[in-house]
Amino acid sequence: MSGTGADFLHHWDRHTGRQPCAPALVEGSEIWTYGRTDARAEALAARLAAAGAGPGSVVGLALDRPREAVLAMLAVLKAQAAFTVLDPGLPPEPRAHLVREIDAALWLHSGPRPAHPLPSGTPRLDIAEGGDSAPPRRNLPVQDSRLAYILFTSGSTGVPKGVMIERGPLGGFAEAVRDRLALDSADRWLQVCSLGFDVVIEEVFPVLAAGGAVVCRPDSRPLEPEDLHRLLSDSASTVVELSTQYWHEYARWLRAAGRTTPASLRTVLVGGERMDPAAYRDWQQRHPAAALVHVYGLTETTVTSTMYTGRLPEDADEVPIGSPLANALVTVRRDGRPVPLGEVGEIHIAGPSLARGFLHDERQTALRFRSDPAAPGARMYPTGDLGRRLPDGDLVFLGRKDAQLKVRGHRLEAAAVERALESGDAVAQAAVLLDPADDSSLVAALVPADRTLRPPAGTARRLTAAQRLRAVRPVAAALHDWAVPTRLYWVAELPKNPHGKIDTAALAALAGPAADAAPDPAAEAGDVPLRAVLHRFRTVLQAPSLGPDDDFFAHGGQSILAMRLVSELRSELPAAGGLRVSALFDCRTPRRLTERITGH
């Protein structure tokens, strides 16, 4: 296995010297070459250094425009400091926690007012005020052990944890992904994910280490599948990385539109959740030119540690997560010792890809980054994920070892959501589980504080829109939007097993779609388009009793479900051919959306 790799700036400087006129950052029709980008990054690095950034300090990036964010990352590394990125989607409480934890030397923002609220008195610098020239910086010797960035995990317990990645692991990761995907100077990688999510590291550094270009969106808003397709095509992107659920929606859109992937696209990385083997095979049959790469990894081990690509055997009931990258040593263990081939154990990751540890948390660092009993002096990271190794050496992911849930690629302790629900005045007790219908959202069974709302024992009743908004308010304030349950049910009591613990199987059966009331016959009346739209609302939200005037988002709708709803309506109703997801924000009920579609 290779070492930590060269410092990323070694690759950057080499490409800047050899190909100063080659594209580095692409945004629409505007191209920043390596030479222009380097000049801008040098100028910004000089401003950062003059403002106090340097070895041992952290620069916060409160930027929404991807091109500015990538430029800032380069500049911070040139200043020998470390960067962190403020996720635009963070609720107020986690945002305030992150800002306190980082204690940044300064925060970079764009324009007269930061895009994200920052505490008064926090040092800040406007990236838009700089130019392409600046006084020369004092070049400092590069050290692999210096911090490169700190990014925060989603916080499985509800409190985000800062993960510290050094320059050596970052360089080694960029080289490992570059080599595995055979990236070169002709490649263009479309940046899609949220800027605060660690996948942004994979979208930026490997392709730049290869001398290729990062394709940047004009802002960080989510892309609808149609917009993604158009941007991939218009930018001639060769590589893109999508979350598992987003990939499903893109594949569904391609199928409904009768299209295939753009001619330039050769590689599609997919990760965050287990892939459906049938969907994987269907993609390979329909879109053979765009090879799928199933990726697996953690923020604590520098983004991605394993990759799988190739033809999936017909008898495979799981899509493997593949073999380790050159910068990671991945083993399957039980009680700290490797298990024989084919046996199930916990996936452990070791090698130079490991983070330094958790910011301001030596206890958790010592607890999670353990000594390897088989290799004295080496560290390893038990992931908490179960897996087994196939005869050909590939790994298969088999779910969590503990009670953590995985929601849209994020790890989450159900207790964090349950505590937030119970902190409000509407809920006495709460139990949360992964929705068995889609494995990408949460279902909650709640014992109401108001005893008059409790249904008969052994039954469940779905919350009304008003009740749901009141119940989830504490969750929305404390956690990400993906941690807010989409379906919530009142129950008289939480089902328990003989040992006194929550009976998850009984809970799943109790708080399932069948618990919804039968459709209101009166709501079925009306014209054909309204009935069709209402039916799609009900199926996508798994809410058979939903009425024509019920709000999509008040009943658990979120971005992925909105994409699915619009895609299905386009396929079913000719008049909905030009419908966009953005229309749902203005027309949130079946009746109003029908009026938008029909033009009445």
Tell me the pLDDT band of 135, cut-offs 50, 70 and 90.
low
Contacts of 464 (CB under 8 A, 6+ apart): none
pLDDT in tens, 280-295: 999 999 999 999 999 9
Q: Which of 285, 287, 218 is nearest to 250 (CA)?
A: 287
Mean pLDDT of 518-530: 60
pLDDT in tens, 344-372: 999 999 999 999 999 999 999 999 999 98
Using alpha carbons only, what angle is made at residue 387 by residues 370 and 239, rounded to the nearest 5 degrees? 95
Give the pLDDT confidence score for residue 490 in this predicted structure: 92
406-515, what's its fold?
Answer: GMP Synthetase; Chain A, domain 3 (3.30.300)
pLDDT in tens, 423-467: 899 998 888 888 776 666 788 999 999 989 989 888 888 888 889
pLDDT reading at 225 higher than 70: yes
Give the pLDDT confidence score for residue 376 in this predicted structure: 81
pLDDT reading at 524 higher than 90: no
Mean pLDDT of 117-137: 72
Of 555 and 459, more confident: 459
Tell me the pLDDT band of 493, cut-offs 50, 70 and 90.
confident
Tell me the pLDDT band of 507, cut-offs 50, 70 and 90.
confident
Mean pLDDT of 403-429: 81
Please state, in angstroms and rounded to a whole number, the distance separating the CA atoms of residues 331 and 339.
9
pLDDT reading at 403 higher than 70: no
Give the pLDDT confidence score for residue 129 in this predicted structure: 79
Give the pLDDT confidence score for residue 164 in this predicted structure: 97
Mean pLDDT of 516-522: 52
pLDDT reading at 332 higher than 80: yes
Report the amino acid identity of residue 81. Answer: A
521-598, what's its fold?
Answer: 1.10.1200
Tell me the pLDDT band of 373, cut-offs 50, 70 and 90.
confident
Q: Which of 377, 275, 387, 293 is nearest to 331 (CA)?
A: 387
Average pLDDT, the chain: 87
- C-alpha count within 13 angstroms, C-beta hemisphere, residue 194: 20
Domain ranges of the chain: 406-515, 521-598
Give the pLDDT confidence score for residue 504 in this predicted structure: 75
Which residue blocks in 2-65 are alpha helix, DSSP H? 8-18, 34-50
Give the pLDDT confidence score for residue 2 in this predicted structure: 44
pTM of structure: 0.81
Give the pLDDT confidence score for residue 1 in this predicted structure: 43
Give the pLDDT confidence score for residue 349 in this predicted structure: 97
Q: In sequence order, what DSSP letters do the residues of 131-190 get, joined into one string?
A: -S--PPP------TTSEEEEEE---TTSS--EEEEEHHHHHHHHHHHHHHTT--TT-EEE
Give the pLDDT confidence score for residue 494 in this predicted structure: 85
Do 566 and 575 form a contact (C-beta atoms < 8 A)?
A: no
pLDDT in tens, 111-123: 766 656 676 777 8
Give the pLDDT confidence score for residue 561 in this predicted structure: 86
pLDDT reading at 482 higher than 60: yes
Contacts of 458 (CB under 8 A, 6+ apart): 492, 510
Give the pLDDT confidence score for residue 512 in this predicted structure: 65
DSSP H/E element including 590: helix 590-598
DSSP H/E element including 586: helix 583-586
Which range among 163-177, 218-232, 283-297, 563-577 shows the weakest confidence by mean pLDDT? 563-577
